[in-house]
Amino acid sequence: MADTVMECRNLWKIYEKITAVKDVSLEIKEGEIKLLFGPSGSGKSTLARCLALLTTPTKGDVFHRGECLTRPGVNLNKARARIGFVFQHIWLFHHLTALGNVELGLRRVLKLPKKEARERATKALREVKMEEWANHYPAQLSGGQQQRVGIARALAMDPYIIILDEPTSALDPELIGEVTDTLRALAKKGTTMFIISHEMQFAREVADEMIFFNQGMIVEEGPPERFFTKPSSDRAKRFMERLIKRTTKE
Amino acid sequence: MDFIIEFLPRIFDGFLVTIQVTFFGVIMGLALAIPLAIGDLYGGKIVSTIIKFYVEFFRGSALVAQLFIFYFSIPTLLNIRIDWFTVGLVAFTLNSAAYQKGYIKGAMESVYEDQMTAALSIGLSKVQAIIYVVLPQSLRIVIPAWSNEFCSLAKSTAALLTIGGKDLTAAGRTMASQTWRILESYTFIALIYFLWITTVMKALDILYNKVKIPGLEVSA
């Protein structure tokens, strides 16, 4: 039985006017890939950010490798360093080259010497096939290339899990493939991932389990095949039908 | 033109004073403005209120009045004497910091949120994120505003005249009153201001383009 890498119990996130996450519990085991999907505005990003400790949940606890990180007094910076996060809108550091983006955490968080940081950053860029572009600035790269650098930035820190918040949804359709290919390669290597995505073909291939999320709650979870053949909830069924129809049209 | 040559050493001395006070004021003003901007953004209500008072005082009152306060009022209260040069350095630094704080804060706010979140996500602390991510980007954006501030401060230093400072304008006045060549004297002084200010502005322009992030369109 593999170890639980990340877990949340009875997680709530309540903003002034809306409740974004309602009593969510889930866990991810080592080497597992879980894929969360659901309508926009359903609280998926908020959940991802709570799990990555980028947002403080209102109630409930987040555990990483058995340690509760929602208690007061936890060193969040240290904890975040080993949790990879890939943003929907990419958010590379504009003033640094691709290599600089990947190196920053290695140098300033892990405090690696210059040479070692460079080697490790180059290796991470190689893994996402961006080594040749190491000296380009984000604004000189295409969206897909930028997102691959974003993945390398997370990867270089040697995370035990990578959380990806709709990594392809801000990209032009023709650029999605290069990012999903990169993620497929990571999946093959056994990287533990929590992915928010609506790329259904990709989901079917890589996910161990899919979670349908709506109005801040988990509506249904199970293996991808079940979602593609006979989802048990009506809401999930309708949503799947729409998504699949959209994909086949393209 | 003989009279100009005769007065050149005096003009040169005055010019040096003007340059020194200007550069000191702008650079020390920047050094002070950065912590002020950070304090205003992250320091909480009390700190940000204190900063607001400071800024409003220096932006909302006449520079000459500020010079008088530092040259006459404060020394009288403390029963000390401060020379006009030191008063100039202090007053222009504090005055310029008040303006520059606004520019820097604005630039920081424009790059702040997503870049900060991204920085936190790789494990940087908030302070590290400011130092390595937010400031390097903000300071690039702020250069055009900064060059305006330089331009305005360089000319404001002429107010030193009111507390007996021997700056460039003071040298011009001496020359005009001793030779009665009023038109030539002040035209010559104005020309010196014009030349060195446009040179520095041009240099800042070049710097701005040099450190500009390749490929990125920024609007400040």
- Asked whether the beta carbons of residue A82 and residue B123 sit closer than 8 angstroms, the reply is yes
Tell which of A93, A109, A153, A162 to mutate to test the B interface (max B CBs under 10 Å): A93
Token pair, residue A235, equals 């809401």
Tell me phi and psi for residue A161, to 5 degrees.
Answer: -150, 145
- Cβ-based contacts of B129 with chain A (< 8 Å): none
Rg (CA), chain B: 21
d(CA B186, CA B169): 8
- Cβ-based contacts of B216 with chain A (< 8 Å): 94, 137-139
Q: What's the pLDDT score for residue A248?
A: 64
Beta-strand pair A209-214/A193-196: unpaired
- What residue of B is the nearest CA neighbor of A90? B118
Q: What's the pLDDT score for residue B218?
A: 56
Residue B192's Cα: distance from chain center in Å? 19
Percentage of chain B with pLDDT > 90?
70
- Cβ-based contacts of B133 with chain A (< 8 Å): 93, 95, 104
Partner-chain residue, chosen from B118, B125, B137, that has the shortest CB–CB distance to A95: B137
Tell me phi and psi for residue B151, to 5 degrees.
Answer: -55, -45
d(CA A111, CA A131): 22
Partner-chain residue, chosen from B111, B132, B217, that has the shortest CB–CB distance to A104: B132
Q: Is the dihedral angle over the CA atoms A62, A64, A66, A69 positive or is it negative?
A: negative
- Cβ-based contacts of A94 with chain B (< 8 Å): 111, 115, 137, 213, 216
Q: Is A18 helix (H, G, I), strand (E, B) or coil?
A: coil
Residues A174-192 have pLDDT tens digits of 899 999 999 999 999 999 9
- What would the CATH number be for the domain defined by B2-211? 1.10.3720.10
d(CA B157, CA B14): 11
Rg (CA), chain A: 18
- Cβ-based contacts of A78 with chain B (< 8 Å): 123
- Asked whether the beta carbons of residue B215 and residue A154 sit closer than 8 angstroms, the reply is no
Residues B68-125 have pLDDT tens digits of 999 999 998 998 888 999 999 999 999 999 999 999 999 999 887 899 999 999 999 9
Q: Which letter does DSSP use for residue B130 in this model?
A: I
C-alpha angle B127-A103-B121 in degrees, rounded to nearest 5:
50
Kindly provide the residue ranges of all beta strands, DSSP E only, lying in B49-178, ordered along the sequence. none
Residue B15: name the closest of B189, B203, B186 by CA: B189
- What residue of A is the nearest CA neighbor of B134? A93
ipTM: 0.91
- Cβ-based contacts of A85 with chain B (< 8 Å): 121-122
The list of chain A residues with pLDDT below 70 reads 1, 247-250
Q: How far is CA A13 from CA A28, A38, A46, A51, in A?
A: 20, 17, 8, 11
Contact A131, A83 (CB under 8 A): no
Residues B8-20 have pLDDT tens digits of 888 899 999 999 9
pLDDT of residue B46 exceeding 90, the answer is: yes
Q: What's the pLDDT score for residue A123?
A: 95
Q: What's the pLDDT score for residue B6?
A: 82
Residues A205-228 have pLDDT tens digits of 999 999 999 999 999 999 998 888
d(CA B102, CA B204): 19
Residue B2: name the closest of B177, B172, B184 by CA: B184
d(CA B138, CA B131): 10
C-alpha angle A68-A70-A75 in degrees, rounded to nearest 5:
85
Closest Cα in chain A, distance from residue B132 (Å): 8
C-alpha angle A189-A47-B118 in degrees, rounded to nearest 5:
70
C-alpha angle A36-A42-A45 in degrees, rounded to nearest 5:
60
pLDDT of residue B220 exceeding 50, the answer is: no
Contact A92, A101 (CB under 8 A): yes
Partner-chain residue, chosen from B122, B137, B215, that has the shortest CB–CB distance to A139: B215
Q: How far is CA A15 from CA A20, B45, B72, in A?
A: 7, 22, 55
Closest Cα in chain B, distance from residue A153 (Å): 8
d(CA A136, CA A113): 22
- Cβ-based contacts of B214 with chain A (< 8 Å): 137, 139-140
Partner-chain residue, chosen from B118, B125, B214, that has the shortest CB–CB distance to A77: B125
Domain definitions of chain B by residue range: 2-211
Q: Which chain B residues have any C-beta within 8 angstroms of a chain A C-beta?
A: 111, 114-115, 117-125, 128, 132-133, 136-137, 140, 213-217
